[in-house]
Amino acid sequence: MATFEIAFLGTGSPLPNPDRCGAGQVVIAGDTHVMVDCGWGAARRLVPAGVLPSSIDTAIFTHMHTDHMTDFPDFLFQRWTWGATTPLRVYGPEGTAEMVEGFLLALRRDISFRQAHHGDKLHPDGIRCEVTEVPVPSRPERFLTVGGMTVEAFEVDHFPVVPAFGYRFGFDGRTAVLSGDTSFCESLLHASEGADMLVCEAMNVPMLQQRVLALRAAGREVQAGLFEDVPSYHIPTDEVAKLAKQAGVGELVLSHLIPPIPNEGPQVEEFVRGMNDLYGGNIRVAKDTERVPVTAAHRD
C-alpha cells in the first residue's frame, strides 16, 4: 500500500510552549508532499520530521491567523536553498495572495542579496510563488489533484475569521480530514463522515480556565480577558470526541492544542480525560516532528 501519512511540524497554538510550534503539517502521499499551514517555528521542524523542504511543491493555508503563517518566509528560503527549481503553488482562502505578496515584498532585498552572492546556484524560479485563492464552498469541493491525491476545501466556523477552511485529502482509497481552527459546525461533521483519520484542533476548557485564574491571580487582567475570548471560536475536547463518534471516524488525532501541554507526563492524560467515554476509536495527541500513517479504518 502506498505511503499516506501526516508529518506534524507544529501542534501548538498562539500560546508559547517549548515543545510545540505554531500550526503546520505536511501531507505525504507517495512522492507528493503538501504543506498545510506554516506557523511560528514550523519550518524548522521540516528536516527533523524527515521532510526535505525542496520536496514540497504545494502549500495550503486554512486561514490568516499568525500562528498558521508566520514561518512561511523561512520555509520559502529553506525550499529555495535546498534546491527547488520550480515555483511553489500556494492555495488558500481570500487573503492568501495578499499574505504571500507581503512576505515576498519584505524578502525582496534578501532575495537579491542571495542571488548576487550565489549566482546560478539558486534557481530564480525556486523562490517564486503561484497563488490561487479558493472560493468559499457550500460543501466539500475539490480544488486540487496532485500526485494522485485529491484535496477538497470546506468552510468552518472560526468567526470573526472569515473565511476559514478545513481540508479533506483522499489518496489510495483512504481519507484524512484536517479541521483547521473551528468551533463545532455541521460542515466539519459532514466533511469528516467516514474519514479514516480526523486531525482536529482541540481545547481543554478546564485546563484553559486554570490558566485564566492563574493570570488573574498574578494581576494580568488583559491577558486573562484575552484567554476568556478563546472558547468562542475553538472546539472543546468533548465536542471533538462526539463529532468523531457521530461521523464514524476511524482514528482521531489532536493537534493545535489549547492550552499547549508538554509532550509527556500527566497533562497529556488530563487533556484527553473523558474523550474515550464518548468516542471508541483510537485517540492520539500529536507531537511536533511526529509522522502518523493514515490507515484504512476497520469498521463493523
What is the pLDDT at residue 14? 87
Q: Rounded to two decimals, what is the model's pTM? A: 0.96
Please report, in tens digits, the pLDDT of each residue of the chain (300 residues total): 899 999 999 999 988 888 999 999 999 999 999 999 999 999 999 999 999 999 999 999 999 999 999 999 999 999 999 999 999 999 999 999 999 999 999 999 999 999 999 999 999 999 999 999 999 997 899 999 999 999 999 999 999 999 999 999 999 999 999 999 999 999 999 999 999 999 999 999 999 999 899 999 999 999 999 989 999 999 999 999 999 999 999 999 999 999 989 999 999 999 999 999 999 999 999 999 999 999 998 655
* Alpha carbon distance 198, 215 (integer Å): 33
- List the catalytic residues: 67
What the chain holds in terms of domains, given with CATH numbers, is: 4-293 (3.60.15.10)
